[in-house]
Amino acid sequence: MESSSNSEIAHEFFPFFKVYKDGRVEKFMASEHVPPSDDPHMAVRSKDVVVSPEPAVSARVFMPQISDPSKKLPILVYMHGGGFSIGSAFHPGYHKYVSALVAKADIIAVSVDYRLAPEHPIPACYDDSWEALTWVASHANGDGPDPWLNNHADFGQVFLAGDSAGANISHNVAVRVGLTSLPGVKLIGVALVHPYFGGTEDDKMWLYMCPENKGLEDPRLKPALEDLARLGCERLLVFVAEKDHLRERGTCYYEDLKKSGWKGTVEIVEHEGESHVFHLMKPKCDNAVDLMERLVSFIKHD
């Protein structure tokens, strides 16, 4: 029989996870995985790659059908959402969404399977996503470990995108690009869909997941103006949803970026009547189709 101390809950962050006093972590949502589909007859092929064996970081690479082998395609590095604690690049919803985006935008995508908190405390997610971007950059001279990137990727057209926590990660990776740069790679744009930034009840969970945090003003949670000013991209697109509890975080990010001194161009798009990550929950609705079309246009620079 389980003792009462073992079954006692120390922390609970619904709908993500709870932590028992004995240290056990229980996620509220089961992890679903689908295999990649490396079928040359499909509109989009996918395969899983090891970005780093230690720490263990992997990614799913997507490539559309190649009609002209000499044509180089833009690269999108995608960070999934899930409160930094659930979700996966291999989840059926993300697999379908990134596949659809690759087909419509005619790009190569690298969807990052970063380590999840609280088992792997923040900043693991940021470090893993940076590791994935540097892995992509290692192909810039055509001699990296993956032939799809070596043969078909345009490293002068690199994009980052993510939803919710993945949008937060995308921002933080873009800040790091601005600080350190990546030889042979040009980060053109970053798309943040319903970004998870500080200023809501969710702050408590982020602070718990990041034991070495700097408090509510930690720039990884609440972007600082000096970090915004040195974002390492030329264009940025923010999506917010009217009924999303994170809506104001996205609009504040947009306003702060405009006054930060950053030299790029930023646009914000709001979808009325919609909730957080609605485009993943109901991808065929009119607003989800609009969001996808705007993402595609942002990458194609139509």
Catalytic site positions = 164, 244, 276
Residue pair 66/152 in contact (Cβ under 8 Å)? The answer is yes
d(CA 56, CA 229): 32
Strand pairing of 235-241 and 153-163? unpaired
d(CA 227, CA 179): 9
d(CA 50, CA 67): 27
Residue pair 214/169 in contact (Cβ under 8 Å)? The answer is no
d(CA 110, CA 57): 12
Alpha helices in 181-266 (DSSP H): 203-209, 225-229, 247-258
Residue pair 36/42 in contact (Cβ under 8 Å)? The answer is no
Amino acid residing at 205: M
* Other CB atoms within 10 A of residue 204 CB: 12
Residue pair 194/244 in contact (Cβ under 8 Å)? The answer is yes
Q: Which residues contact 1 (CB under 8 A, 6 or more apart)?
A: none
Residue pair 220/126 in contact (Cβ under 8 Å)? The answer is yes
Angle at 145 between CA 181 and CA 187, to 5 degrees: 25
Q: Among 178, 173, 140, 134, which Cα is nearest to 157's?
A: 140
